[in-house]
Amino acid sequence: MKATTTADPGARPVGKTADGATLRRLWSGEGNEFAGRNLALVGVLVILVIIGAVTRPDLYGDPEWVRNNAFTILQQASAIGVITVGMTFVIIGGGIDLSVGAIMALAGVWATTLATQSYGPGGMIFTAIAVGIGAGLVNGVLISYGKLVPFIATLAMMVAARGLAASISGKQTQISQSSVINDIATTKILGVPLLIIILALVVAAGWVLLNRTTFGRRTVAVGGNPEAARLAGINVKVQTLMLYGLSGLCCGIGAIMLTAQANSAQAAMANLYELDAIAAAIIGGTLLSGGRGTIIGALFGVLVFSTITNLFAINGLSTESQNMIKGGIIVAAVLIQQFRFGSLTKLFSRSDRAPAPAPH
């Protein structure tokens, strides 16, 4: 006797469901960091390299120059890449941080005072990280417990941190006398610059933290719907505080990297880095409204901007033109976000919707 099965009249066709879900995952990048959005950014990088090869064939025809230039781009992107990791967490969590550049300057200046340098490179690194975390936690307290809007709280921190850095340094450039700190910018391990290795480690740690821990899941939940997250048992205030502390930690690390590259620190260092970090996160797919974003996408965003800067430099083009193109990229990225998560989400939702049962 053969067994018989009865089809559920409300079930969705397997093929249609899989296709719709796959399209949605590929477009949003969910489940695969390199899907959809990130592949598009890789394509942009390839196009930029092709433009460089066409405009400067004399340089790109030299394999050794190409290799060294790739390392140069990555080294220039390293400090911004590190703070972009922290910025990505903050934005996914529903916030914004306009103070990262100023916190980097404050951490760098504080770490290069004569008193701090007397404790050696360990004391300088500890001071930079402690100042970064401390300033980040102040932001978090003002936002979580003071109920200030993130824009206002971090804007105030940006102004205050720059002012404090200028006061500490006397508006002078402070020279780093530590060879250990300065050598960070020139040291290579197995042929790879140490700055690039630090960036890779921070990105890897950020990816694991966001995608493989409860901290990451709570960050997404808080950014997506703070009230729902609170009802689910998440302490939204503590989570927000920790996010800004994490951003401050990245600022402290970035401050040491910048100090090593310049062998000095000053109140004007890392100027407008906050805009570069926000822009990189946005074009990497992080939603300004919170609740969605990827660390790898943000890294690709940093590399796109760094490659554009390098391309303009080797072609002797003006900084003004470079900034206009960057601005256009940011606007395009936001418009694409609105289209992707608006129209396409509705389209795929309709394609996956279960058909109504046939009338009897």
Residue 342, pLDDT score:
52
Within a domain: residue 351?
Answer: no
Distances (CA, A) of 87 to 15, 118, 122, 272, 294: 39, 32, 26, 14, 11
Q: How far apart are alpha carbons 44 and 235 in whole angstroms?
A: 40
Within a domain: residue 334?
Answer: yes
Within a domain: residue 306?
Answer: yes
Relative orientation angle of helices 214-224 and 194-211, to the nearest 10 degrees: 70
Comparing C-alpha atoms, which of 194, 184, 196, 161 is closest to residue 263? 184
Beta-carbon-side half-sphere exposure of residue 347 (alpha carbons within 13 Å): 10
Residue 341, pLDDT score:
53
Residue 299, pLDDT score:
95
Q: Which pair of tokens denotes residue 41?
A: 């950014």
Within a domain: residue 61?
Answer: yes
Burial of 129 per CB tally in 10 Å (0-12, 13-18, 19+) = buried
Q: Could you write out the DSSP letters of every residue in 273-338?
A: HHHHHHHHHHHTT--TTSS---HHHHHHHHHHHHHHHHHHHHTT--HHHHHHHHHHHHHHHHHHHH
Let me know: does 289 contact 150? Beta carbons within 8 Å: no
Distances (CA, A) of 110 to 146, 155, 255, 257, 285: 27, 20, 10, 14, 34
Regions in the chain scoring below 50 on pLDDT: 1-31, 33-34, 344-345, 347-349, 351-352, 354, 356, 360
Q: How far apart are alpha carbons 360 and 357 in whole angstroms?
A: 9
- Residue 231: count other Cβ atoms within 10 Å of its Cβ: 9
Which residues make beta-bridge pairs with 188?
A: 193
Within a domain: residue 43?
Answer: yes
Let me know: does 266 contact 169? Beta carbons within 8 Å: yes
Q: How far apart are alpha carbons 248 and 136 in whole angstroms?
A: 4
Within a domain: residue 353?
Answer: no
The domain in which residue 206 lies consists of 36-339
- CATH number at 217 reads 1.10.3470
Beta-carbon-side half-sphere exposure of residue 2 (alpha carbons within 13 Å): 2
Q: Parallel, antiparallel, or unpaired for β 264-265 and 192-193?
A: unpaired
Count: domains in the chain: 1
Within a domain: residue 64?
Answer: yes
pLDDT digits (tens, 9 = 90+) for 198-233: 999 999 999 999 999 999 999 999 999 999 999 999
Instruction: Give the pTM.
Output: 0.84
Type of residue at 109:
V
Within a domain: residue 126?
Answer: yes
- Residue 262: count other Cβ atoms within 10 Å of its Cβ: 16
Residue 34, pLDDT score:
44
